[in-house]
Amino acid sequence: MSSWDYGEPDFEFDKEIEIDFDTNIDFDTDIELDVYKDVDVDVRVDTHVEGNSAFLTADVEAIGKDTFVEVDASVLAVEDTMSSVTLHAVAIVN
C-alpha cells in the first residue's frame, strides 16, 4: 500500500440545512433630498458572441477532524480561437 492509498473510507456524513427567517423592521424617518444631475453619455455595446465558451461550477467540501481543502483554477481565453477553464480540487478528511 503506497503512502497515498487511503483504502476504503469509513466516514459517513449527512447534511441537512434548514433556515427559518422572520423579521419585523419598524423604520421611521424624514428625508429631504435635492439632486441636480447633468449626464451626457454615449454608450455602444456589441453583445453578438460568436465562437466558443467555457463554463465551470465547482463545490469542494471537507468535513470532520483533520481536514484539508485545496482548489487551483485557471482560465484561458484567446480571441476567436479558444476558451478553457481548468480546475484541480482536493478535499481530504483525516
For the entire predicted model, the pTM comes to 0.36
pLDDT band for position 2 (cuts 50, 70, 90): low
A 10 A CB-CB count for 57 gives 6
User: What DSSP string runs through 56-91?
Assistant: --------SSSEEEEEEEEEEEETTTEEEEEEEEEE
Domain span including residue 53: 1-94
Distances (CA, A) of 88 to 55, 56, 72, 93: 15, 12, 5, 17
pLDDT in tens, 37-85: 888 888 887 777 677 777 778 888 888 888 888 888 888 888 878 888 8
Q: Is 92 helix (H, G, I), strand (E, B) or coil?
A: strand
| Total domains in the fold of the chain | 1
- Between CA 66 and CA 20 the distance in angstroms is 31
